[in-house]
Amino acid sequence: MPFIDRHQHALKLLPNEAREASVVDIGCGDGVLLKKLHSLGYRNIAGIDFSSSAVEKLQALNIFPVHHIDLDSPNPFVSLNKKYEYGLLVDVLEHMLYPVETLKKLKALCDVLIIVVPNFNSIQQRWQCLLGKVPSLNKLEREHVNWVNFDVLHKQVHEAGYVIESTNHHYYAKNRGVINRVTRLLGKFFPRLWVSFFAVRCVLLDRNS
């Protein structure tokens, strides 16, 4: 998978000083985000994924540590014996059947989470419904079980013990010349409708928990 907008929006939520901090990519897949972090000078980075084949491929590169961990297990991080300063959760939460429980488990792994999820209530998804089509995000092959809009995301994050500190959402047709003006206007008045995906930085309410 190539480096895409969602990855860029996640990286923009990492503060400048994070280059010297520890960062873990949760659900790292083929490692595209980890490779980008490494190219930007991040050295204290690691990856986590449930796919043993994906983990083996990245481990063979011998660039950064990658761990085979299933987030659905009761105590997934007990073998790591390490806590990271930042955790990246890009295109993962929408695949979790019990997202709040997953977020609660991540409290043992990192104090700050950067989450990127698609907006299931966007204008695009609604338009597809209006045309009598199955919305693209709801197609079976996407394996999305947690249908997120901003209110749902905010509730899940809060129930898990985090608070949203900063956002960097992506708007449709952003940075496309003249259309950008209309996009920004629509985004201003209909932010939850005109957002294609949400990117948020969350911090633990109680960092000693």
90/10 Cα distance (integer angstroms): 7
**If you ran DSSP here, which 8-state letter would residue 125 be given?**
H
Return the pLDDT at 129.
Answer: 92
Return the pLDDT at 182.
Answer: 73
Nearest C-alpha neighbor of 113 from the set 49, 165, 159:
165
Nearest C-alpha neighbor of 25 from the set 99, 84, 100:
84
Amino acid at site 161 = G
What the chain holds in terms of domains, given with CATH numbers, is 5-204 (3.40.50.150)
1/28 Cα distance (integer angstroms): 11
Per-residue pLDDT of the chain (209 residues; tens, 9 = 90+): 555 788 999 999 998 777 889 999 999 999 999 999 999 999 999 999 999 999 999 999 999 999 999 998 888 998 888 899 999 999 999 999 999 999 999 999 999 999 999 999 988 898 999 999 999 999 999 999 999 999 999 999 999 999 999 998 887 655 556 666 776 677 667 777 788 899 999 999 876 55
